[in-house]
Amino acid sequence: MTRIRVLVVDDSVVIRKVLSDTLSGDPALEVVGVASDGRIALAKIPLLKPDIVTLDVEMPVMNGLETLTALRKLYPKLPVIMFSTLTERGAAATLDALSLGASDYATKPSNTGSPAVAIERVRAELVPKIKALCRVSAPLKLLPLPQARVAGKPRPRTHPRIEIVAIGTSTGGPNALAEVLPLIPKDFPVPIVVVQHMPPIFTRLLAERLASRSFIPIEEGSANVVLSQAHAWIAPGNFHMKVCRSGMACRLDLSQGPPENSCRPAVDVLFRSVAAAYGANVLGVVMTGMGSDGVLGSQAIRDAGGNVIIQNEASSVVWGMPGLVHASGLDDAAYPLDQLATEINRRVMQSRSPSVPMEMNNYATLEPPIK
């Protein structure tokens, strides 16, 4: 098997060694070179021909954002994973990098941790992302689903009134959400709840950035907030977010229960809760992402009578989460990223106004506001 060729770019000698030793310890990976700044990295790329680059955010001479901008002009398809600190500054720079074309990101281990912990963090977080972005991840493995559908007997199509939209996404999600949420109209008649796999700080900054480009308010989720129409909430990093019914209203509940699918927040947790709170009146949306989070939650939505749509493979950065939902037979339809906002709007409006024709496409020309 051809090993994935990795170029490590970081100004820290310690980080370069940790990354090089850890990545090289995986038989599927080969560190073909290192660089201490972006200028050196750009000079090495045509010589080393890496399959993927890990890129530090803060470096002397030429920082990560400057390097990424130059790299994207020369190598638009080369996967790049940003390696940043878990700080406000690091999170902001990482979101900037994603908007400039970075494929994904990983957070640096704390300086206060032991070397063994740092190595395990890199092995657990960075290695799977490298493999997924280089399209050599393990084949899709179906999860054991309760009450799995019988082959050849698809579930009858249903069109219940949609009272909430629940979105789950991971790798590639920040940019995907930036394509969808700004096209939700200000009179959208239901709430939206979102899980994006991200650590603390990152989720708050992501919500703020999306809100600055959108018609509807978008916030990081808070405990006991009452859901309302034309409003979106993003689960905070390191907290599971649930929707719980309280009389006629529904509220957000946050907890730090055990991670599911190695994730907290987890899509499955949110999806199960909206299925329990809203029954059939749920539209689930699974977008680009690595891993299997969202499959069991999609099953819960379908079992309750709701519907699930997914982002298609061609427009996904990684077709792990939506791909497994599809392979498990749990999606009602798949759409390219540039059609998802229109389809969400169409389904919600049509479900609530049956007289509206199914081909309704009133929102296709919406332009996001500039704030």
Strands 218-220 and 333-335: unpaired
In the residue annotation, 170 being an active-site residue is answered as: yes
Separation of alpha carbons 325 and 302, rounded Å: 11
Separation of alpha carbons 250 and 228, rounded Å: 9
Helical packing angle, 88-99 and 202-212, nearest 10°: 50
Burial state string for 9-30 with b = 16 or more CB within 10 A and e = fewer than 16: bbbbeebbebbbebbeebeebe
User: Tell me, what DSSP letter sits at residue 125?
Assistant: I
Lateral strand order in the sheet of 192-196? 218-220, 232-234, 192-196, 164-169, 282-286, 307-311, 333-335
DSSP-H helix ranges across the chain = 13-24, 38-48, 64-74, 88-99, 115-121, 127-133, 173-180, 202-212, 267-278, 295-303, 321-327, 337-352
Look up residue 209 and give its two tokens.
């950035």
In the residue annotation, 197 being an active-site residue is answered as: yes
Q: Are 239 and 247 in contact (CB under 8 A)?
A: no
- Cβ neighbours of residue 156 under 8 Å, at least 6 residues apart? none
Catalytic residue, candidates 36, 84, 103, 170: 170
Catalytic residue, candidates 293, 298, 315, 351: 293
SS3 145: coil
Separation of alpha carbons 107 and 67, rounded Å: 18
Separation of alpha carbons 193 and 242, rounded Å: 9
- What ranges make up the beta strands (E) of 129-231? 164-169, 192-196, 218-220
Catalytic residue, candidates 84, 197, 240, 328: 197
- Rounded to the nearest 5°, which phi and psi values hold at 151? -55, 135
The catalytic site residues sit at 170, 197, 293
